[in-house]
Amino acid sequence: MCTGAEAVRDVYERTVLERRQDLVFLQNGIVRTMLPPGAPSVTSSVIYFSVLERGGPAKGGGCTFVHGRFAPFLTKLLQAGGVECKEVPRLHIIEALAAEKLLWASCMWMVCHAHEGINVGQVHDTPSCQKTLRELVAELLPIAARSLSLADGEGDT
């Protein structure tokens, strides 16, 4: 079984060279880190919705963000499906949003575990757990941004 990063790279590498800039990744993660160095920009997203069953409606969880060549099209498509969605003008912004979402998800599970295995809903319902989660993400986000060279817009397109 391959990781998400391996799957993204595999899709990219199996795509004919002249169509790689047409790829649209509707997922969570920082796509640039999963592609070969020097790869052309693709359309990527930070999703904040879920579909709980096949054919079911999209359930919003906040605003979804999209960046890249096909961002206007994807934004309109998601909005037509009832998903709040905004186009992001710069690569470093979408990557910073993705890093923040990945940190929230990772830190959420740490907070759940640290509080004797409470669930995500209980973290959201407990002010002290919410505070711990916010503080943990705030502490780690600058480190993630430096690690990914997000603060200065490096690699921006």
Q: Kindly report, residue by residue over 117-137, the tens digit of the pLDDT.
A: 898 889 989 999 999 999 999
- Rg of the chain taking only CA atoms, in angstroms: 17
Q: Are the CB atoms for 123 and 111 separated by under 8 Å? A: yes
Higher pLDDT pick, 49 / 69: 69
Residue 102, pLDDT > 60, answer yes
| pTM (two decimals) | 0.82
Q: Is 89 exposed, middle or buried (0-12, 13-18, 19+ CB in 10 A)?
A: exposed
Please, what is the Cα angle at 135 between 134 and 140, to 5 degrees? 100
pLDDT at 153: 52
